[in-house]
């Protein structure tokens, strides 16, 4: 018998109402606590793979009498080498978190009314399948759209492929690294994968342009970064904010936001002019060097200084550092690169520098990628049908380099609003918070209002859950299997296994099982010729020479690979002519610029600041904000603002303000952090933190999400990726709009000499000079 659930009790549902199918598999937290003994009889150490973020470190879970006590890094995993971050440790708290979704539920009131009834898994799956079939019958199978993310997403991508709907999208492309992949693919014929194939540990110069390593903690890469610094690598950090990485850098270049391509072109100009490029690599492996030389001839450091506000001498000095260190130079391509809507060209400019410095396949540069010989289809699963109608998001046609695997989320939202070119009538979201990952929340809500059916697969409540017609609660990563994780471009190639470390705590199910059960109900049983996901994993390893038993025991198996080219060895790039494309005919043929050029972006209107956002080290956006352990460390992110500017508005560090963007969207109160290390024309806030549904998210003290303010975005015409840093905000205190009464000059410096300095010295270092408001021109140094 189904139980009615109120808004408040939504959060309190325990594991005690499980269906018959769940009995024996799950254990409620109270039972778990009762099982804990002072002297445990049975202590197990089980390897698996973390998913508190996408980096997927190897972990070892210590389980005492069935209770997870501790998570540490797996020393055998070449990625994180025995280390994990705070979020990895805090997986224990996620497992037993009381805010988790605990039972399947079906809506029992108006959509968004917060009324559900708990149901059995049978009922929830039958209901979901029935709705998807009804949409299919009325509008065609393509009217069913999927928004997926993370490891679970793959199981549902397969389901929708088997179903025949091409309308699938994940934010990992359009809102994150899509333009980076396209930029590198256009140049080298291959992207640099994840983890990015950068040999930071052996680099002599590390250039970070759009990467705040240390705040975006990706353990393996951070280990390499610190090793590189310990070995003497010089770091150049290009960032409008004095980030943690900037504090470890020899040069901090506080660039004017939106002008990075000008700096990259000036570096290219200087490197070519000084003949500092790798002549042999350029001669033997590239096409378009003479066009490139001609293209950048006027983009001098002096030209770039006027645009970027980085002094020409610093641009020359940093170019010289890269010339001297080549080929052991990493120019990190960044990860979240969806900035201004011209991002493929910025990433192309980075990849061109990477190419002419000859760093590909070189120690201290970029790793090669190795092959891994296992089959994804060893189970003889039939081929998925070819979709009958073209996908609605424009990936691959309107946006020629938009990913047809990951899709374009915002375009799928737009098509659901317009119902063109054909109706989109059902959404299933899997591990994706469509409100906090896709820009313009009002559009997302409008699209959901157009749906006949909206289902959510999640591990904990998020804003979309509140509007769901059905909630399918998923096992967390510590309770389930997922596909094998294979990394081929790293110090050592490896394959790692995620396996359950404990019995499930609540009445949840793994993603692979939910997808398979839905598939069976949708007439797709032929695609699921297995009962258990372990069967799939074992079949995938057939013929690879890797033992599944060893994987279970160690959590990871390495295999031979090649990271670097031998001296003089040639390399066949994955382009039609096997060459690196400094000049891209592919782009030219599609009427795009064959070599990147700088395109100005709008400055903030008077009284407004550009909204910049990024990561913080102990949270993975909204994914971890309810984690009690992590909230003990940081529960309330602050808005970074230049201290001179703040003071001129009568604000002191720690005071609360509201933000309002150019479209009148206002936030709740948030605290400010004043610092000399922030450009005066921008503010910075950690991304994705704080839901805006007060009824749903009962844990967060700060209910401010930067995504509320991201109402505007530019779309990259090449990739379809969204540029999100085009929003401006002003500060409001006690209902009064604040406006800076000074202007501040701000320039690049040799940061390392001054690291750990006192406040007055920082002010000198950053060349912060309050000036009269009337002054229209900001001075360089």
292: left (phi over 0), alpha (psi -120 to 50) or beta: alpha
**Residue 217, interface with ligand SF4 (CB under 6 A)?**
yes
- Give min distance, CB of 55 to ligand SF4, in A: 4
Longest dimension (CA), the chain: 78
- Give min distance, CB of 621 to ligand SF4, in A: 12
> Which residue's CB is nearer to ligand SF4, number 83 or number 638?
83
Stretch 75-114: interaction string toward ligand SF4, x if CB under 6 A: -----x---xx-xx--------------------------
**Residue 55, interface with ligand SF4 (CB under 6 A)?**
yes
**Residue 431, interface with ligand SF4 (CB under 6 A)?**
no
> Which residue's CB is nearer to ligand SF4, number 45 or number 420?
45
- Give min distance, CB of 189 to ligand SF4, in A: 29
For ligand SF4, the binding residue among 218, 250, 619, 679 (CB under 6 A) is 218
> Which residue's CB is nearer to ligand SF4, number 88 or number 604?
88
- Give min distance, CB of 69 to ligand SF4, in A: 17
Q: Where are the beta strands (DSSP E) in 504-622?
A: 556-558, 580-581, 609-614
Stretch 590-619: interaction string toward ligand SF4, x if CB under 6 A: ------------------------------
- Give min distance, CB of 72 to ligand SF4, in A: 10
> Which residue's CB is nearer to ligand SF4, number 88 or number 717?
88
- Residue closest to 149 by CA, chosen among 411, 412, 433: 433
> Which residue's CB is nearer to ligand SF4, number 93 or number 133?
93
Cβ distance 315 to 304 under 8 Å?
Answer: yes
> Which residue's CB is nearer to ligand SF4, number 213 or number 352?
213
**Residue 338, interface with ligand SF4 (CB under 6 A)?**
no
Give the separation between CA 407 and CA 166, rounded to whole angstroms.
Answer: 9
3-state DSSP assignment of residue 774 = coil
**Residue 53, interface with ligand SF4 (CB under 6 A)?**
yes
CA distances for 473 relative to 30, 68, 455, 743, angstroms:
20, 20, 11, 52
- Give min distance, CB of 83 to ligand SF4, in A: 8
Count the site residues for ligand SF4 by CB under 6 A. Answer: 14
**Residue 688, interface with ligand SF4 (CB under 6 A)?**
no
- Give min distance, CB of 88 to ligand SF4, in A: 3
**Residue 56, interface with ligand SF4 (CB under 6 A)?**
yes
How is residue 391 annotated by DSSP? Answer: -
- Residue closest to 629 by CA, chosen among 196, 32, 93: 93
Long-range (24+ apart) CB contacts under 8 A made by 515-518 are 515/155, 515/156, 515/158, 515/159, 516/155, 517/121, 517/125, 518/125, 518/128, 518/129, 518/132, 518/159
Give the separation between CA 747 and CA 242, rounded to whole angstroms.
Answer: 12
Span from 55-63, 403-411, 531-539, 589-597 in contact with ligand SF4 (CB under 6 A): 55-63
Span from 180-188, 215-223, 258-266, 490-498 in contact with ligand SF4 (CB under 6 A): 215-223
CA distances for 683 relative to 518, 707, 741, angstroms:
45, 14, 16
**Residue 52, interface with ligand SF4 (CB under 6 A)?**
yes
Q: What is the secondary structure of 27-56 as a DSSP string? A: --HHHHHHH--SS-S-EEEEEEE--SSTT-
- Give min distance, CB of 482 to ligand SF4, in A: 13
Q: What is the secondary structure of 299-348 as a DSSP string? A: --HHHHHHHH---HHHHHHHHHHHHHHTTSEEEE--S---SSS-HHHHHH
**Residue 219, interface with ligand SF4 (CB under 6 A)?**
yes
Nearest residue to ligand SF4 on Cβ basis:
88
> Which residue's CB is nearer to ligand SF4, number 212 or number 679?
212
Give the separation between CA 433 and CA 445, rounded to whole angstroms.
Answer: 12
- Give min distance, CB of 700 to ligand SF4, in A: 19
Give the separation between CA 375 and CA 351, rounded to whole angstroms.
Answer: 31
Cβ distance 644 to 768 under 8 Å?
Answer: yes
> Which residue's CB is nearer to ligand SF4, number 10 or number 55?
55
> Which residue's CB is nearer to ligand SF4, number 91 or number 361?
91
**Interface with ligand SF4 in residues 455-494 (CB under 6 A):** none
CA neighbours closer than 13 Å in the CB half-sphere of residue 249 = 30
Residues in the chain: 781
Residues that bind ligand SF4 (CB under 6 A): 50, 52-53, 55-57, 80, 84-85, 87-88, 217-219
């Amino acid at each position: 018998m189904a139980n009615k659930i109120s808004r408040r009790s939504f959060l309190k549902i325990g594991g005690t109402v499980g269906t018959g199918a769940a009995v024996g598999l799950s254990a409620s937290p109270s039972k778990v606590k009762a099982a804990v003994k002072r002297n445990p009889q049975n202590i197990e150490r089980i390897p698996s793979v973390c998913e508190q973020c996408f980096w997927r470190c190897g972990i070892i879970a210590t389980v005492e009498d069935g209770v997870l006590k501790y998570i540490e890094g797996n020393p055998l995993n070449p990625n994180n080498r025995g280390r994990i971050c705070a979020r990895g440790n805090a997986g224990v708290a996620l497992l037993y978190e009381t805010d988790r979704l605990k039972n399947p539920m079906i809506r029992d009131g108006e959509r968004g009314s917060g009324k559900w009834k708990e149901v059995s898994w049978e009922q929830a799956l039958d209901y979901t399948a029935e709705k998807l079939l009804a949409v299919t019958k009325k509008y065609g199978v393509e009217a069913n759209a999927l928004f997926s993310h993370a490891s679970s997403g793959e199981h549902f991508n397969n389901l929708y492929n088997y179903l025949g709907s091409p309308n699938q999208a994940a934010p990992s492309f359009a809102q994150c690294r899509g333009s980076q992949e396209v930029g590198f693919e256009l140049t080298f014929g291959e992207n640099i994968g994840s983890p990015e194939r950068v040999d930071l540990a052996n680099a002599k110069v590390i250039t970070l342009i759009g990467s705040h390593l240390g705040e975006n903690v990706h353990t393996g890469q951070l280990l390499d970064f610190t090793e590189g610094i310990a070995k003497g690598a010089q770091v150049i950090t290009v960032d409008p904010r004095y980030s943690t990485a900037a504090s470890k850098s020899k040069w901090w270049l506080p660039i004017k936001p939106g002008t990075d391509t000008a700096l990259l072109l000036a570096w290219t100009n200087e490197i070519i002019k000084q003949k500092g490029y790798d002549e042999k690599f350029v001669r033997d492996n590239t096409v378009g060097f003479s066009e490139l030389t001609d293209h950048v001839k006027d983009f001098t450091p002096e030209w770039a200084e006027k645009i970027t506000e980085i002094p020409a001498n610093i641009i020359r000095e940093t170019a010289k550092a890269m010339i001297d260190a080549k080929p052991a130079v990493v120019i990190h391509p960044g990860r979240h690169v969806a900035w201004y809507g011209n991002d493929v060209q910025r990433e192309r400019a980075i990849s061109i520098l990477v190419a002419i410095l000859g760093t590909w396949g070189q120690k201290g540069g970029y790793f090669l990628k190795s092959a891994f010989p296992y089959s994804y289809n060893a189970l003889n699963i039939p081929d998925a049908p070819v979709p009958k109608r073209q996908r609605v998001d424009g990936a691959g046609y309107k946006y020629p380099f938009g990913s047809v695997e990951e899709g374009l989320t915002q375009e799928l939202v737009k098509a659901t609003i317009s119902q063109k070119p054909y109706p989109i009538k059902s959404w299933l979201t899997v591990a994706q918070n469509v409100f906090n990952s896709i820009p313009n929340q009002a559009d997302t809500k409008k699209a959901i209002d157009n749906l006949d059916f909206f289902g959510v697969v999640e591990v904990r409540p998020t804003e979309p859950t509140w509007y769901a017609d059905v909630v399918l609660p998923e096992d967390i990563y510590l309770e389930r299997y997922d596909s094998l994780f294979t990394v081929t471009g790293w110090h050592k190639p490896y394959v790692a296994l995620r396996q359950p470390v404990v019995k499930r705590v609540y009445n949840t199910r793994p993603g692979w099982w939910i997808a398979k059960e839905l598939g069976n109900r949708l007439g797709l049983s032929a695609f699921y010729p297995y009962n258990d996901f372990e069967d799939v994993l074992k079949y995938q390893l057939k013929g690879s020479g890797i033992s599944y038993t060893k994987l279970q025991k160690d959590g990871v198996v390495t295999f031979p690979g090649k990271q670097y080219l031998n001296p003089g060895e040639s390399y066949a790039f994955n382009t039609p002519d096997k060459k690196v494309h400094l000049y891209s005919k592919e782009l030219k043929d599609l009427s795009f610029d064959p070599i990147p050029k700088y395109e100005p972006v709008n400055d903030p209107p008077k009284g407004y600041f550009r909204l910049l956002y990024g990561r913080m080290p102990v949270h993975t956006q909204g994914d971890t904000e309810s984690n009690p352990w992590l909230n003990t460390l940081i529960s309330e992110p602050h808005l970074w603002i230049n201290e001179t500017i703040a003071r001129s508005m009568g604000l002191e560090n720690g005071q609360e303000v509201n933000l309002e963007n150019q479209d009148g969207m206002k936030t709740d109160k948030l605290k400010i952090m004043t610092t000399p290390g922030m450009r005066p024309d921008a503010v910075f806030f950690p991304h994705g933190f704080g839901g805006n549904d007060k009824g749903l998210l009962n844990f967060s003290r700060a209910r401010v999400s930067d995504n509320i303010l991201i109402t505007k975005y530019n779309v990259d015409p090449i990739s379809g990726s969204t540029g999100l840093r085009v929003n401006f905000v002003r500060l409001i205190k006690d209902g009064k709009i604040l406006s800076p009464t000074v202007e501040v000059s701000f320039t690049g410096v040799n940061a390392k000499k001054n690291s750990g300095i006192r406040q007055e010295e920082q002010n000198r270092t950053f060349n912060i000079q309050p000036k009269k408001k009337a002054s229209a021109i900001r001075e360089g140094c």
